[in-house]
Amino acid sequence: MEWEKNVRRADPYVPGEQPKRTDVIKLNTNECPYPPAPAVRRAAEELDYDRLRLYPDTEAGQLADALCANYGISREQLFIGVGSDDVLAMAFQTFFNSDKPILFPDVTYSFYDVWAELFRIPYVRKPLDEAFRIVKEDYMEENGGIVIPNPNAPTGILEEVGVMEEIIAANPGSVVIIDEAYVDFGGESCQRLTEKYENLLVVQTFSKSRAMAGMRIGFAIGNPKLIGYLKDVKFAFNSYTMSLPAIWLGAESVKDREYFQGTVNKIIQTREWVKKNLTELGFTFPDSKANFIFASHDRVPAKAIFEELKKRNVYVRFWDKPRIGNYLRITIGTDEQMEILTENLREIIAQWGKPT
Amino acid sequence: MEWEKNVRRADPYVPGEQPKRTDVIKLNTNECPYPPAPAVRRAAEELDYDRLRLYPDTEAGQLADALCANYGISREQLFIGVGSDDVLAMAFQTFFNSDKPILFPDVTYSFYDVWAELFRIPYVRKPLDEAFRIVKEDYMEENGGIVIPNPNAPTGILEEVGVMEEIIAANPGSVVIIDEAYVDFGGESCQRLTEKYENLLVVQTFSKSRAMAGMRIGFAIGNPKLIGYLKDVKFAFNSYTMSLPAIWLGAESVKDREYFQGTVNKIIQTREWVKKNLTELGFTFPDSKANFIFASHDRVPAKAIFEELKKRNVYVRFWDKPRIGNYLRITIGTDEQMEILTENLREIIAQWGKPT
């Protein structure tokens, strides 16, 4: 039809499967296997239902204050959005507004090129080295912006803050976004560098370490000038993005630091013994500092393992893509879930190649 | 700083004031004075807190199904977003993608030009006539898209579906967005026309008639092809926009049709007696079919009334703008709130011009 000529065509991002069945062991979208902080439950039970008729605070006040207290920052250094995807999409739209290409790794979060296409931002993918490491010199040429996840996904590899600082310092003419979705699982945040570098935006999420993927909360920390530009674009898009329950329950989650640290520690401990088991089973993987492991088997193709696990109701993530087509991204679940995974992997590998 | 040269500059929308004090009579942002449906409270109390750790259904399943059942449509005809602002912003980005200007009224929802500026969409404001009515012929010239609220805001004037159909039929080359934020308060929706016209998108919200401004839910109805394009852009922006509480509580709200109709009827009844009182006090106003009245006094300037009401803790909306600078937009509250408003207006008008 005639009206279609003016339509913006987009290639949507394809997220990991969300099975309707509840008997599945779900290790495919990096969710937390433990529930949110108990204070979140209390806040849900005491939800002021009558107030839902009113618009929320545009600044997400209580949530903002809890985050500011937790990270030792002021409201002017904080931006909040509907998950880190919302924060990152807004940041792309606000800061990557040049004719020069933005730069990001070839193996990385697969939303970056989707946003670049949507907003018509030119981009260049910089290949990771053989060991899936970022080559810092690649990010020191002329560019219209940089986005790097640290730890990187789906590799799980953490780079030192010093490496990130070299990249940030080399790019005073561009905004550098460090996507720290997984930093709480053993990484050091670049947050302190935002005091020193105006061009740095650090993005985090409640969906992984805070066990609130269903609540849709993400945030960014940066200097007040940078955050101001981001807020202007956000308030030109949608004044009220954060629902009252997100503000109330999110704030409670941040205040319970002990529960947060306990959850994160449990996941780290599980991850470390899973690494040993995977090595014994013949898997190799980069040393992950995230809540997942990106593993490849020396004999059995990733695709075969992925499909066989699925038949057994264990979901992991697999991409049929260049460079990573023989890898599985396995989310760290509870100890019990990971024992079931290990048992299934042991059987699948033992049976591989044998007549059925 | 050097990085600032590539920043997208935006002029944010300024929403009505959200006072922190709770003793205020808040008639300034068109919220519903009654709470959401009782089933929403039950859903909040029984919120499955543990599930918050999981990502929501990208299609907002339960909420989508409740809306489909209510409006007699299929999921392919429905788009859901974070308030109608999110839906409209996505629709602007998806459908208004031409070099020709989009068209909307000069007196209308003040977010339209904000989105046009943000997305660099050329636009022309078409003046309403002397009586604040839409001149349909204005929307029959060459354009890159059309957006019209019906009833219009802040005038409250409803146009017949037949007028809208003439505009839609005259524009097979453009997408026509009818913003029906206020249609439940006595208007007829253009929804049935989406079966006939591929280029029509009808947008509604939970923030007014469904008393859930704090939950952030809006939706659009259109033919599957149109909705498909919109979903592609949305899924290229943020896969998971609707939180689990929004999905669960929103669905319950839609199912309780009786409560919904009761709330709407109460507001309509209040509106009609407030009209009589305002006329007696010397106000004139277009005949509103929304949950607000756009009124001007024959003797006392709107700005003076606005400021005096605020001193008395009664908040209404006032814009210091051409054509509407002598008008107040007054949200319909409870009978009790509107009696207090009327009393205050009576006093302010009686005292005007007298020595203090």
pLDDT digits (tens, 9 = 90+) for B156-187: 999 999 999 999 999 999 999 999 999 999 99
Q: Which element (helix H / strand E) includes A221?
A: strand A218-221
∠A211-A215-A220 over CA atoms, to 5°?
A: 80
Among all residues of chain B, which has the CA nearest to that of A209? B53
Identify the residue among A226, A243, A256, A263 best suited for mutation to test binding to B, counting B beta carbons within 10 A and taking the highest: A243
| Residue B35 with chain A: CB contacts under 8 Å | 49-50, 52-53
Tell the burial category of A99 from Cβ atoms under 10 Å away from its Cβ (0-12, 13-18, 19+): exposed
Helix A244-255 vs helix A257-280: angle between axes, to the nearest 10 degrees?
Answer: 80
Contact check, Cβ <8 Å, B55/A207? yes
| Residue B1 with chain A: CB contacts under 8 Å | 172, 198-199, 225
Contact check, Cβ <8 Å, B52/A35? yes
Q: Report whether pLDDT(A209) > 90.
A: yes
Contact check, Cβ <8 Å, B56/A231? no
Contact check, Cβ <8 Å, B35/A49? yes
Q: Which amino acid is at B287?
A: D
Residue B284 confidence (pLDDT): 98
Contact check, Cβ <8 Å, B89/A238? yes
Each residue's pLDDT tens digit, A15-67: 888 887 778 999 999 999 999 999 999 999 888 899 999 999 999 999 999 99
- Residue whose entry in the numeric block shows the structure tokens 């209580």: A62
Nearest to A236 among B10, B47, B239 (CB): B10
What percent of chain A has pLDDT above 70? 100
Nearest to B235 among A12, A55, A229 (CB): A12
Closest-CA distance of chain A to residue B11, Å:
6
Among all residues of chain B, which has the CA nearest to that of A101? B6
Contact check, Cβ <8 Å, A44/B47? yes
Contact check, Cβ <8 Å, B9/A175? no
Closest-CA distance of chain A to residue B36, Å:
6
Q: Which amino acid is at A41?
A: R
Nearest residue to A311 via CA among A33, A25, A30 = A25
Nearest to A237 among B32, B40, B118 (CB): B118
B66 contacts B250 by C-beta, under 8 angstroms: yes
| Residue B117 with chain A: CB contacts under 8 Å | 236
Closest-CA distance of chain A to residue B281, Å:
29
Among all residues of chain A, which has the CA nearest to that of B61? A20
H helices present in chain A, as ranges: 38-45, 61-71, 83-95, 112-118, 161-169, 224-235, 244-255, 257-280, 302-311, 335-351
More confident residue, B156 or B355: B156
B203 contacts B181 by C-beta, under 8 angstroms: yes
| Residue B29 with chain A: CB contacts under 8 Å | 55
Query: Average pLDDT, stretch B317-334?
Result: 96
Residue B248 confidence (pLDDT): 96
Task: Using pLDDT thresholds of 50, 70 and 90, give the confidence band for residue B356.
Answer: low
Nearest residue to A220 via CA among A81, A333, A18, A47 = A81
The tokens for B297 are 């006094």
Mean pLDDT for all residues in chain A: 96
Task: Using pLDDT thresholds of 50, 70 and 90, give the confidence band for residue A356.
Answer: low
Nearest to A57 among B18, B54, B57 (CB): B18
Closest-CA distance of chain B to residue A260, Å:
13
Q: Alpha-carbon Rg of chain A, whole angstroms? A: 21
Each residue's pLDDT tens digit, B29-54: 999 999 999 999 999 988 889 999 99
A17 contacts B186 by C-beta, under 8 angstroms: no
Among all residues of chain A, which has the CA nearest to that of B200? A3
Each residue's pLDDT tens digit, B270-284: 999 999 999 999 999
Among all residues of chain B, which has the CA nearest to that of A57? B18
Residue B154 confidence (pLDDT): 97
Q: Report whether pLDDT(B267) > 90.
A: yes
Among all residues of chain B, which has the CA nearest to that of A236? B12
Among all residues of chain A, which has the CA nearest to that of B110? A236
Query: Average pLDDT, stretch A78-92?
Result: 97
| Residue B95 with chain A: CB contacts under 8 Å | 3, 6-8
| Residue A29 with chain B: CB contacts under 8 Å | 55
Contact check, Cβ <8 Å, A214/B55? yes
Rounded CA gap, B294 and A178, in Å? 48
More confident residue, B14 or B342: B342
Classify A287 as helix, strand or coil: coil
Classify B290 as helix, strand or coil: coil
